[in-house]
Amino acid sequence: MEKALLSLSIALLAGMLLSRLAKLAKLPAVTAYLVAGILVGPYVLGQFGVEGLGFTSLENVESFSILSKVALGFIAFSIGNEFRLTQLKKIGKQATIIGILQAVITTLVVDVALIAMHLIMPNVLPLEAAIVLGAIASATAPAATLMVVKQYKARGPVTDTLLPVVALDDAVGLVLFAVSFGIAQALGSGAVSVVSILVEPLLEVILSLALGALMGFLFSLCERFFHSRSKRLSVSVGFVLLTIGLSLIDFHIGSVHIRFSSLLVCMMLGTIFCNVCDFSEELMDRVDRWTAPLFALFFVLSGAELELSVFSNFMIVLVGIVYILTRSLGKYSGANLSARLARSDENIVKYLGITLFPQAGVALGMAAQAADTLSSGDIIRNITLFAVLVYEIVGPTLTKIALTKAGDINPEGKTSARHEHARNRHKPRHT
């Protein structure tokens, strides 16, 4: 236990210290946390084999997976709070068109490129792997995007559209993956399962939204019994943890596998809460402060989980580069085209696609499912790992640049909490 606490404290402090260097280099804090994770992970500090000094193995990092699940739940809850009805009336139609179309276009672009690679090098990239990777390409990392938005207090048309699109992107990605995964299984076995291709993914989305809505109403009802800020915060944290726990339950009804997406469940929890509870904005501000170290630790752990060994296989690197380039092309062109069709603001047309580049947890979850089931699962997993490694390091910086150019980030909006406190302390008090 003491070694686990030492590892976590060193990981968090390393992330904090590197974030100061990142600020000097004008890089997002997310990038610093990920680099810190690599440094304290099994490929650098962990090589010394001293338990408690860093993470000595990937299994050691994975033993803290509960923290990652909790952090992702709170991140999804925060994104859900951006779905206020007053805002959705303005951008709901645009976000829906962009969210669906850019995901589908990305999948098609990556599928075409990787299937062409399969025809050229069938022994390197199996057909079922190419199809599944196309669907995985549709997924965007909500965590890195949200952290950049919060760090720089981004506000504007691109940011207002970005968060709903990222949320919808995950729902569409789950359906695309399930369909592609079912086709890949059919190619391997020769049998097509309508249940796994159509029924299960639709049920996962519908049931996740229903569970999140139910928990959102119960959450809003429960909050009315408490009046102090500290107790409301405690109830909020408890409800999000309860919702995350319920979303991890899965079971079978006959031949149908019933499961939930914790991201969608917690997003819907946040959406219902922010539209039903009249003091949700104040409460969310307090929750954000409570979760700040949790989010930082989540990204450090994510960095420690990145497998640098994928660089040792030239063919994986080659396919990974094609995957990254075509996915980036798909995200940018898909967002650009769909934003034009939705008659969006010119800045949304130009810059939204770049903010959709980051990729992490959802994609890795899809790859892990493929690795457990398909004969070509290891190839899918390694290519996804390679892409995530690149996207997680580069993606947040690109998101910051795009939002700055769009005018959503004010470069003069930096403040120091210490200086702000000092100013307030010396202000004359009026009697």
pLDDT 10s digit of each residue in the chain, 431 long?
678 888 899 999 999 999 888 888 888 888 888 889 889 988 888 888 877 778 888 888 888 888 888 888 888 888 787 777 776 677 778 888 998 899 999 999 999 999 999 998 888 888 888 999 999 998 887 778 888 888 888 888 898 888 888 878 877 887 888 788 878 877 766 555 666 667 777 788 889 889 999 999 999 888 888 878 788 888 888 999 999 999 989 888 887 878 888 878 888 898 898 888 777 777 777 787 788 888 888 888 888 877 777 777 788 888 889 999 999 999 999 999 999 998 888 999 999 999 999 887 678 777 877 777 777 778 888 888 888 888 888 888 899 999 999 989 886 545 455 555 555 555 555 44
Alpha-carbon distance of 262 to 265, in angstroms, equals 5
Question: Cα 168–171–175 angle (5° rounding)?
Answer: 140
| SS3 category, 8 | helix
Phi, psi of 84 (to 5 degrees): -80, 140
Least Cα distance to 401 among 331, 350, 340 occurs for 350
Residue 421, token pair as written in the block: 């406190």
Alpha-carbon distance of 139 to 367, in angstroms, equals 11
Query: What is the pTM for the complete model shown?
Result: 0.76
> What confidence score (pLDDT) does residue 339 get?
92
> What confidence score (pLDDT) does residue 13 get?
93
Phi, psi of 164 (to 5 degrees): -60, -35
Beta-ladder partners of 257: 252
CA dihedral 341→344→345→350, nearest 10 degrees, is -50
> What confidence score (pLDDT) does residue 351 get?
92
The number of angstroms, rounded, from the C-alpha of 7 to the middle of its chain's C-alpha atoms is 24
Residue 42, token pair as written in the block: 């099994």
Whether 350 contacts 129, CB under 8 Å: no
Residue 22, token pair as written in the block: 């990142």
> What confidence score (pLDDT) does residue 104 get?
93
In 275-386 the beta strands, taken as DSSP E runs, fall at none
Whether 331 contacts 356, CB under 8 Å: yes
Residue 320, token pair as written in the block: 């990974």
| SS3 category, 245 | helix
> What confidence score (pLDDT) does residue 191 get?
57
Question: Cα 151–264–210 angle (5° rounding)?
Answer: 140
